[in-house]
Chain A
Amino acid sequence: MYPITFFIVTTALLFVFGLVALTIKRDLVRLLIGIEILFNAANLFFVALSTQHVGMIDPLPQSIVMMALVLDGTVIAVGLALALNVFKHYKTFDIRKLRRLKW
């Protein structure tokens, strides 16, 4: 329906934002937000592929994305439970304080 260029550029931009968030930011919740942006980018690219043939819709990518959404939601939920545990021990979400395990 729409040219795939739009979605390729958006996916690339979202991937860059997600990876920048994971490498530079230091708040644990922000890192989980970065992971969620990465998942959204992959799903967007997948859905864009389902509408590529002019006038036709392919149901397979849409089904896969629906199931991938559920799986990604569970991963982020477990990540948040772990972040709660981190807060209980360290009293902060700062990942720079989590450097006790070194070389």
Chain B
Amino acid sequence: MIEILFILSLVVVSALLAVTSRNIVFAVIALLTTNISLGVAYFMMGAPTVALFQLAIFAGAVVVFFVITVMLTTGGDVEFDDDSVPWINKTTQLVLAAASVLVLLGVSLTREIAFPYLEYASSALETLMFAPTNYDDITTAVSQFLWQHRGFDLVSQSFVVLAAVICCIALLKIRRDHE
């Protein structure tokens, strides 16, 4: 019980640091921490394949894109200091982080927010819920489900990725005019 709360508070604190840090490179590192902690949290919650995708895409590819963009353009220089909210300094960040962790722990451990889970489910609902015995079961079942029941979305998603590649080509192409 307490380990998931520890990971979730790490997620919250690093997200806060990603938003409030002055230096943009620190913010990207904090984003990386957020994504890795979320990946670990997904694993602990019982979703190992989702954790794999999170660590590979969000904590891998996307953060690398961020670092490349920041370094190629401003070069990590602190010249443009994001001082839109000038009263955020290190002590305020610490106070805000402590406050968010306190809110998280306080509300989670004392109150209970009830979610009406499956309250409106129809009687004809089909579901493939199962009781796993170890992580292998979950991995196999989720991968099988993905291909056996969501194949159409997977193929459509590959078209989205193709469109994104053509988008990036159209945005970044340099063509010198041939006279």
Contacts and interface: CB of A to CB of B under 8 A. Distances in A.
Interface string A73-92: 11111101111110100001
Contacts of B141: 57, 59
Contacts of B47: 47, 50-51, 57, 62, 65
Contacts of B104: 6, 9-10, 13
Given A2-B45, A57-B46, A36 B58 contact: yes
A78 B142 CA distance: 29
| Majority secondary structure, B binding face | helix
Given A21-B19, A24-B85, A25-B19, A9 B80 contact: no
Given A2-B45, A58-B128, A74-B164, A30 B19 contact: yes
Contacts of A9: 103-104, 107-108, 113
Interface of B: 1, 4-5, 8, 11-12, 15-16, 18-19, 24, 27-28, 31, 34-35, 38, 41-42, 45-47, 49-50, 53-54, 57-58, 61-62, 65-66, 69-70, 72-74, 80, 82, 84-85, 100, 103-104, 107-108, 111-113, 115, 117, 127-132, 138, 141-142, 145-146, 149-150, 153-154, 157, 160-161, 164, 167-168, 171-172
